[in-house]
Amino acid sequence: MDESAKSAVGDSAVGGKPAADVTDGSAAVVGVRSGIGAWTAEETRRAIAAAKTIVVKVGSSSLTQPSGHLDVGKLEALAGALANVRLAGANVVLVSSGAIAAGFGPLGFASRPTDVATQQACASVGQGLLMAQYEMAFGRYGVRVGQLLITAGDTMQPQQYRSARRTMATMLELGVVPIVNENDALASNEIRFGDNDRLSALIANMVCADALVLLTDVDALYTAPPKEPGSRRIPFVPNVTAMIDEIRVGGTGSGVGTGGMVTKLEAARMAAVSGIPAVMTCASNAGPALMGDGVGTAFAPVKQRGSAKRLWIKFASHPQGTLVADAGAAAAVRAGRASLLAAGVLEARGDFAAGDAVWIDDEAGNHLARGLVAYDSEEVPDMLGRNTAQLRRLLGDEYAHPLVHRDNLVLV
């Protein structure tokens, strides 16, 4: 590393003002395997079958009839498969779409409304209908369920994120199956998940899940849209980040859902880089998928699981500003775990407080990392370009620390 880079990063610096911690969760290793090397299909499916905490996502089209009405038979079949897993000793979190789809039929609409206000009204009606059916279906097996409605803002803010994580952990300790959905009745188009695929991957991180199961209206991932001649099922993906651009998929969902194959691949990618094995298949294959059978498409983890805090920074935090790194600092950040010091920062943009997430960009405007900044935005300009000794001499000991400590910095 050259001298400019050395002055811009620290190998073992400790923070000045402490950035807000998200959680004290440990860096657990997923499933039944602890190595970083490539997983095999058998190992991936075995880890899913052995998972102690499982997040299952089901889409609207898997729970409704073509007319848009809730299909109670499909819901009961899914509940039975999940109840069996719960009764066998595993924790289960269900991320369920279907509130709008369940509500627009009873309200007299022939298809899913397109305007936000009507969708929200349908969701407010449909969510109650959906939960009533889940309570009855799981109740037949003696399994209790609980509802948790989340907005995108709840995952972006550390305090709300901790609260949601704590609530779900307590529900699981009590043997309850949390049924999670985006709060469609209140969510705005400006800040929302838009579909539950991304939400399910965030929830998998939130509860430190050992497996993610994505249930949809197709039985697996294919090399091209399944109806096209020559399209082949892909039973196993060892590295979804390496192949995600090689598969041609449809980008839109069904008439009752909002997600498509693209969003499910993104959820599988989020799980894989978080150290979580995943499987994607149709809802009728839920039971075999949870048992590790060779249905659908299995996605291997590509990294060991990091701390819950680092996973929140990477996938859920909402950057409030930007720190622009010079060439030396940018190279050091790209190289790995290095703290970003004021000496290597050219400019600070935005209005942020200590503990907020910020982007770390290079001079060309490319995002290099996200991190939790240790100082308020009005404090940073006086610190820029100064090394540690200068900061201590001119501003005091409390400023002689990284702008973003390496423990609070995640490459993107």
> pLDDT tens across 338-351, in order?
899 999 999 999 99
pLDDT at 366: 94
What mean pLDDT, rounded, does the chain reach? Answer: 84
**Cα 154 to Cα 258: distance, rounded to the nearest angstrom:** 21
pLDDT at 13: 33
**Cα 100 to Cα 380: distance, rounded to the nearest angstrom:** 46
**Could you give the 3-state DSSP secondary structure of residue 95?**
strand
Residue 36, domain member (yes or no): no
**Do residues 283 and 78 touch, judged by C-beta distance below 8 A?**
yes
Last residue of a domain, one of 313, 336, 357: 313
As a whole number, mean pLDDT of residues 12-18 equals: 36
Q: Does 265 score more than 80 pLDDT? A: yes
Q: Does 388 score more than 50 pLDDT? A: yes
Q: Is 126 annotated as a binding residue?
A: no
Boundaries of domain holding 401 = 319-411
Q: What are the distances in angstroms from CA 233 to CA 204, 220, 222?
A: 26, 6, 4
Point out the least confidently predicted range of 19-23, 126-130, 306-310.
19-23
**Could you give the 3-state DSSP secondary structure of residue 104?**
helix
Q: Is 52 annotated as a binding residue?
A: no
Q: Is 259 annotated as a binding residue?
A: yes
Q: Is 262 annotated as a binding residue?
A: yes
Q: Is 217 annotated as a binding residue?
A: yes
Higher pLDDT: 331 or 245? It is 331
- For residue 102, which of 132, 80, 77, 79 has the smallest C-alpha distance? 132
pLDDT at 283: 95
Residue 31, domain member (yes or no): no
Domain count across the chain: 2
User: How wide is the angle at C-alpha 236 spanned by C-alphas 27 and 38, nearest 5°?
Assistant: 45
> For residue 114, how many other CB atoms are within 10 A of its CB?
7
Residues 279 and 130 grouped into a single domain: yes
**Cα 53 to Cα 154: distance, rounded to the nearest angstrom:** 22
Q: Is 263 annotated as a binding residue?
A: yes
Residues 298 and 334 grouped into a single domain: no
Token pair recorded at residue 197: 């695929």
Q: Is 116 annotated as a binding residue?
A: no
pLDDT at 131: 94
Q: Does 385 score more than 90 pLDDT? A: yes
Angle between the 308-315 and 158-173 helix axes, to the nearest 10 degrees?
130
Last residue of a domain, one of 278, 293, 313: 313
